[in-house]
Amino acid sequence: MSPIAAANESQFYFLTAKHAETTFDVMEFYGKEAVSFPYEFNVHLISDNNDISPDTILGQPATLFIYRNGQYYPYSGIVVEFELLDGDSQKCSYRAMLVASLWITRLNYRSRIFQNMTISEIIQSVLKEANIGNFSIDLSSGTKHEYIVQYQETDLNFISRLMEGAGIFYYFREPPKSGDQIKPGASCEQLIITDNPKFERIEEPSGIIYRPSDGMAKMSGREKFESVNTVRFSKSIIQSEVVVKSYNYRCPEVTIAGKQPISSGNYGTFYEYGGSYKTVDDAQKGAQLICKRLQTRQHRISGTGDCRGFRAGYSFELQEHKIARLCIPYIITEVIHSGGCGDNTYHNQFLAIPAEMASRFAPEKSASDPKVSGILSAQIEGNEEAYATIDDKGRYRVRLPFDLSSNSNNCNGSKQIRLAQPYCGSQYGFHFPSHQGTEMVLACVDGDPNKPVGIGTVPNANTISPVIAINKHENLIKTAGGNILAMDDTEDKQKIRLITKGLNGLEMNDEKKRVVLTSTDLNQLVLDDENSKVIIKGSSHTISMNYADGEKSIEIISGEGHIIKIDDKKKNIAIKTADGNQIEMDDNGKKVIIADSQGKNSITLDQKNGLILSGGKVTIDASQEIVLSGANIKINSNKGDVDLNASGDLKLNGTNINQKGNSGVKIEAAKFEAKGSISTNIAGSMMEMSADASVKIKGNAMVEVNGGGMAVVKGGVVMIN
Residues 519 and 598 in one domain: no
Residues 377 and 450 in one domain: yes
**Domain annotation covers residue 149:** yes
Residues 516 and 562 in one domain: no
Residues 562 and 525 in one domain: no
Please report the pLDDT score of residue 383 as a whole number.
Answer: 80
**Among the listed residues 518, 515, 539, 541, the one whose alpha carbon sits nearest the alpha carbon of residue 528:** 515
Residues 473 and 458 in one domain: no
Q: Is the CB of residue 572 less than 8 Å from the CB of residue 588?
A: yes
pLDDT in tens, 628-649: 676 677 777 666 676 767 777 7
Give the SS3 label for residue 297: helix
d(CA 183, CA 72): 11
pLDDT in tens, 418-446: 999 999 888 898 888 888 889 999 999 99
The structural domain count of the chain equals 5
Residue 214, CA distances (Å) to 163, 217, 520 in order: 43, 8, 104
Between these two residues, 706 and 462, which has the higher pLDDT value? Answer: 462
Please report the pLDDT score of residue 543 as a whole number.
Answer: 87
Between these two residues, 718 and 47, which has the higher pLDDT value? Answer: 47
Q: What angle do CA 457, 461, 465 make, to 5 degrees?
A: 55
The radius of gyration of the chain from alpha carbons, rounded to an integer in Å, stands at: 59
Residues 457 and 475 in one domain: no
Residues 113 and 137 in one domain: yes
Q: Is the CB of residue 285 less than 8 Å from the CB of residue 316?
A: no
Please report the pLDDT score of residue 217 as a whole number.
Answer: 44
**Domain annotation covers residue 43:** no
Please report the pLDDT score of residue 186 as a whole number.
Answer: 83
Between these two residues, 659 and 440, which has the higher pLDDT value? Answer: 440
Q: Annotate 480-506 with three-state secondary structure.
A: CCCCEEEEECCCCCCEEEEECCCCCEE
Mean pLDDT of 522-543: 84
Please report the pLDDT score of residue 565 as a whole number.
Answer: 84
**Domain annotation covers residue 495:** yes
Between these two residues, 204 and 703, which has the higher pLDDT value? Answer: 204
The CATH number of residue 407's host domain is: 2.40.50.230
Mean pLDDT of 131-155: 93
d(CA 62, CA 96): 10
Lowest-pLDDT range, 62-66, 183-187, 290-294? 183-187
Residues 581 and 512 in one domain: no
pLDDT in tens, 563-590: 898 988 878 898 989 888 989 888 887 7
Per-residue pLDDT band for 388 (boundaries 50, 70, 90) equals confident
Residues 471 and 455 in one domain: no
Please report the pLDDT score of residue 652 as a whole number.
Answer: 64
Question: Phi then psi for 284, rounded to 5 degrees?
Answer: -65, -40
Q: What angle do CA 633, 637, 642 make, to 5 degrees?
A: 85
Q: What percent of the chain has pLDDT over 90?
A: 48
Has residue 172 got a pLDDT over 60?
yes
Q: Is the CB of residue 229 less than 8 Å from the CB of residue 305?
A: yes
Final residue of a domain: which of 124, 149, 169?
A: 169
The CATH number of residue 129's host domain is: 3.55.50.10
Average pLDDT, the chain: 85
Residues 588 and 563 in one domain: yes
Residues 562 and 500 in one domain: no
| DSSP string over 174-225 | ---B-GGG-STTS---EEEEES---PEEPSSP-EEEE----SS--EETTEE-
**Domain annotation covers residue 626:** no
Per-residue pLDDT band for 7 (boundaries 50, 70, 90) equals low
Its pTM stands at 0.76
Q: What angle do CA 121, 127, 133 make, to 5 degrees?
A: 105
pLDDT in tens, 252-306: 889 999 999 998 889 999 999 988 899 999 999 999 999 999 999 999 999 999 9
d(CA 696, CA 692): 12
Burial class (CB in 10 A: 0-12, 13-18, 19+), 215: exposed
Burial class (CB in 10 A: 0-12, 13-18, 19+), 49: middle
Final residue of a domain: which of 169, 186, 216?
A: 169
Has residue 502 got a pLDDT over 50?
yes
DSSP state of 339: E
Separation of first and last alpha carbons in the chain: 199
Residues 129 and 165 in one domain: yes
Give the SS3 label for residue 15: strand
CB atoms within 10 A of CB 591: 17
Q: Which of 35-39, 67-71, 215-219, 702-706 is predicted most confidently?
A: 35-39
**Domain annotation covers residue 59:** no
Per-residue pLDDT band for 411 (boundaries 50, 70, 90) equals low
**Domain annotation covers residue 136:** yes
d(CA 532, CA 547): 5
Q: Is the CB of residue 391 less than 8 Å from the CB of residue 416?
A: yes
Please report the pLDDT score of residue 693 as a whole number.
Answer: 59
**Domain annotation covers residue 449:** yes
**Among the listed residues 73, 572, 607, 145, the one whose alpha carbon sits nearest the alpha carbon of residue 307:** 73
Per-residue pLDDT band for 513 (boundaries 50, 70, 90) equals confident
Q: Which of 136-140, 412-416, 432-436 is predicted most confidently?
A: 136-140
Mean pLDDT of 613-625: 75
**Domain annotation covers residue 381:** yes
Q: What angle do CA 435, 438, 439 make, to 5 degrees?
A: 150
Please report the pLDDT score of residue 4 as a whole number.
Answer: 59
Range of the domain at 278: 241-285
Please report the pLDDT score of residue 571 as a whole number.
Answer: 80
Final residue of a domain: which of 256, 285, 314?
A: 285
Please report the pLDDT score of residue 449 as a whole number.
Answer: 92
